[in-house]
């Protein structure tokens, strides 16, 4: 009788804990959305031109205002691109971590982004007439990089550490090659240099239009693979016993992750650590269920990358620090902390 009572109390405690978790998750989502909106408005107003919120609103929706029009043409594309690319790379990170069963996987660190970057750079430098196909070519580059990392680190299984080490080597190779192509093309073709250096200053609405459909499709596919990602978190044999073709599922989700990482690389350059940091924060705040983790990572990725870009724009005015550079400076130490924690667990 006493034992039964304790059991009930424990079940009640479980219930309460679940409820408070759900409550905090909702709060986390609301706060993240609010952060994104605030950051958007702050970012719109940073620079030599300043407009109040009401001026911005009326300039956009009511009557023409030359200041607002300039901001709309120059700052809006950049802000929207930052948000789209940040969301894409963060979700790509979640997917890679699910597929590789490796909490340290990140499209930047394991060389996917630099593979896509090299492909994009080659198109821009060697065959500028194919400019329109840059995103597709970047995706092919990303797939090649992923296959290289996967095959080279396969040794009867995938050890997390070996993937990272192989990835770093592949990343270094592709980054180096990109620099070579950049230098050989005289380094003055802004298109090439902007991909290599991760420069998003010159972005226009045309770039938004290039990025948007791919990110939209990639995100949609990512949201549709939520259940599959959760199944991959089980042991392979167990997932298989539930009727899941584990290899096919892995390939499918990898393709989505590569597309998301490659397309953002084609437009803003390789971003490191973002795809690593965001999912980790997400797991702490909303848990490891991909149904919650993927949408949250998209939001938080947008926030963090927009924040990096905004910091980059303000910290050394009138000069600018590229957002991916800011990302590396923040992300590097974060990665080291994670690596240390991971070692403690093992």
Partner 1 sequence: MGEYMMRVKELSFSYGKNKILKNISLEIPEGKITTILGANGCGKSTLFSLMTKNLVPGRGSIYLQKKNIGGMSLGDFARRVSIVHQYNTAADDMTVERLIAMGRTPHQKAFGGKSEEDERLVEWALSVTNLVDFRGREVGKLSGGQRQRVWIAMALAQNTKMLFLDEPTTYLDIRYQLEILELVKRLNTEFGITIVMVLHEINQAICFSDRIIGLKDGHVAVEGDPEEVITPDTLEELYGVKLGVALIDGHKYVMTGNLM
- Nearer to partner 1 among residue 242 and residue 346 (C-beta): 242
Q: Who contacts 270 (Cβ-Cβ below 8 Å, separation ≥6)?
A: 108, 113, 114, 116, 117, 175, 198, 324
Residue 294: CB minimum distance to partner 1, A: 14
- Nearer to partner 1 among residue 285 and residue 299 (C-beta): 285
Question: What is the Cα–Cα distance from 131 to 119, expressed in whole angstroms?
Answer: 12
- 38 near partner 1, judged by CB under 8 A: no
- Nearer to partner 1 among residue 261 and residue 294 (C-beta): 294
- Nearer to partner 1 among residue 47 and residue 252 (C-beta): 252
274: nearest Cα among 88, 20, 130: 88
- 156 near partner 1, judged by CB under 8 A: no
Q: Who contacts 335 (Cβ-Cβ below 8 Å, separation ≥6)?
A: 104, 109, 273, 276
- Nearer to partner 1 among residue 181 and residue 232 (C-beta): 232
Interface pattern 241-260 for partner 1 (x via CB under 8 A):
xxxxx---------------
**Region 182-241 residues binding partner 1, contact defined as CB under 8 A:** 224, 227, 230-231, 233-235, 237-238, 240-241
Question: What is the Cα–Cα distance from 36 to 54, expressed in whole angstroms?
Answer: 19
Residue 98: CB minimum distance to partner 1, A: 11
Residue 8: CB minimum distance to partner 1, A: 7
Per rule CB under 8 A, count of chain residues that contact partner 1: 26
- 168 near partner 1, judged by CB under 8 A: no
CB atoms within 10 A of CB 78: 22
**Region 6-25 residues binding partner 1, contact defined as CB under 8 A:** 7-8, 10-11, 14-15, 17-18
- 288 near partner 1, judged by CB under 8 A: yes
Q: Who contacts 290 (Cβ-Cβ below 8 Å, separation ≥6)?
A: 94, 98, 226, 227, 229, 230
The Cα-based distances of 277 to 50, 97, 106, 164, 332 in angstroms read 32, 12, 9, 15, 10
Binding window for partner 1 (CB under 8 A); candidates: 114-122, 143-151, 251-259, 287-295: 287-295
The enclosing H or E element of 73 equals helix 66-100
- Nearer to partner 1 among residue 230 and residue 314 (C-beta): 230
Q: Is 30 in contact with 298 (CB distance < 8 Å)? A: no
54: left (phi over 0), alpha (psi -120 to 50) or beta: alpha
Q: Which residues are at the interface with partner 1 (CB under 8 A)?
A: 7-8, 10-11, 14-15, 17-18, 224, 227, 230-231, 233-235, 237-238, 240-245, 287-289
């Amino acid at each position: 009788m006493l034992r039964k009572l304790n059991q009930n109390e424990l079940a009640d405690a479980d219930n309460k804990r679940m409820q408070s978790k759900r409550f905090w998750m909702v709060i986390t989502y609301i706060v993240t959305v609010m952060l994104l909106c605030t950051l958007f408005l702050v970012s719109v107003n940073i620079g030599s031109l300043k407009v109040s919120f009401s001026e911005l609103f009326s300039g956009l929706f009511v009557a023409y205002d030359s200041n607002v029009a300039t901001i709309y043409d120059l700052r809006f594309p950049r802000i929207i691109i930052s948000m789209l690319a940040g969301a894409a790379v963060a979700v790509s990170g979640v997917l890679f971590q699910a597929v590789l069963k490796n909490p340290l996987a990140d499209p930047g660190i394991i060389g996917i982004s630099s593979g896509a970057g090299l492909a994009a750079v080659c198109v821009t430098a060697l065959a500028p007439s194919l400019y329109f196909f840059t995103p597709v070519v970047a995706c092919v580059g990303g797939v090649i990089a992923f296959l290289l990392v996967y095959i080279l680190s396969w040794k009867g299984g995938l050890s997390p550490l070996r993937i990272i080490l192989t990835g770093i080597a592949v990343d270094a190779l592709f980054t180096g090659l990109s620099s070579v192509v950049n230098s050989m093309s005289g380094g003055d073709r802004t298109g090439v240099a902007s991909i290599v250096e991760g420069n998003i200053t010159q972005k226009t609405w045309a770039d938004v239009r290039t990025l948007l459909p791919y990110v939209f499709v990639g995100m949609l596919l990512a949201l549709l693979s939520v259940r599959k990602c959760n199944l991959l978190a089980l042991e392979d044999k167990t997932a298989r016993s539930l009727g899941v073709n584990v290899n096919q599922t892995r390939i499918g989700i990898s393709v989505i992750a590569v597309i998301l990482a490659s397309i953002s690389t084609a437009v803003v350059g390789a971003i490191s650590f973002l795809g690593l940091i965001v999912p980790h924060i997400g797991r702490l705040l909303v848990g490891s269920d991909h149904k919650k983790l993927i949408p949250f990572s998209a939001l938080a990725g947008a926030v963090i990358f927009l924040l990096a870009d905004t910091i980059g724009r303000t910290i050394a005015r009138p000069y600018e620090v590229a957002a991916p550079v800011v990302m590396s400076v923040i992300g590097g130490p974060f990665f080291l902390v994670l690596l240390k924690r991971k070692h403690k667990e093992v």
